[in-house]
Amino acid sequence: MSVLNVTPDSFSDGGLFVDVEVAVSHALAQVAAGADIIDVGGESTRPGAQRISAREERRRVLPVIEQLVAHDVVVSVDTMRAEVADAAVATGAALVNDVSGGLADPEMYAWVAGEQVPYVAMHWRGHSADMDELARYDDVVAEVCAELGDRLDGLIGAGVDPARVVVDPGLGFAKTAAHNWALLAGMPDLRALGFPVLIGASRKRFLGELLGAQGQPRPVQERDAATDAITALAAASGAWGVRVHDVRGSRDAVAVAGAWRDGASGAVGPAGTAAGGSPVGVAADHDGAADHARAGDREQR
């Protein structure tokens, strides 16, 4: 999943893709580099970010989604608002990536149930302006899994098809660096929830802190190699997908992880594919949501 922030203030690339044509060109280059899904976001969720209006969010994302869909690109919309998700899906988006897991908008679960659109539910405790104060856990893996379980119960209770749901542990959202590393090491517990797992570590602050020197974090644009390492480990651990800024490096990392995993059985095919030709690392054993998203399944729209 390739990040496309059409925002002026995102932490990594804010302002680079506010022009529609520039955004579309970048997204098409990422598809050529191996992206399966382009994740279009119009509202920054970096630490301390302030919310924008739904009208402004729609203004930013809808023209980009429309053009990408016209190029047969599979698009997800990164939004916490049901009304923005509805407009994006009507424009052709095939998946909704909600960093609040439905907590930011009480109408989200009913809307997802009505549309039966593939949905990513991320672990979240509060909006960006407040989330650093909420990073308090006794056992971060157990608590994140339990809170994600509550979100999943709410979704399924509202009538959402569980085969269309993906979970995300929310690295960096109300999490310290130590919490993030514990969650990555806790991949077996996350997978035990029974849903595909999306990992979003790309260029985040905890990588900058790990790689910093002389008390200064590694600059944002110099964190891609570390991101690729997490991609390889996530793929080897059974993640459904990764959300990244630099697709080519992570695509290579997925191919290497898949080849390593399958090498002992001689099952590796050409260009990082498993025997039978399916892309390595994409929805290894619970791919209902991916199938619907990839097919652009819009029978409900």
**Domain at 2-199+227-295, CATH homologous superfamily:** Dihydropteroate synthase-like (3.20.20.20)
Task: Catalogue the active-site residues.
Answer: 204, 243
Question: Quick one: pLDDT band at residue 7, thresholds 50, 70, 90?
Answer: confident
Average pLDDT of 267-271?
55
Higher per-residue confidence, 75 vs 46? 75
Q: Residue 168 pairs with which residues in a beta bridge?
A: 122
Q: Give tens-digit pLDDT for 206-236.
A: 999 999 998 899 999 899 999 999 999 999 9
Average pLDDT of 286-294?
45
pLDDT at residue 124 in the model: 94
Average pLDDT of 156-183?
97
Rounded Cα gap, residues 7 and 5, in angstroms: 5
pLDDT at residue 217 in the model: 93
What's the pTM? 0.86
Q: Please state the domain extents for the chain.
A: 2-199+227-295
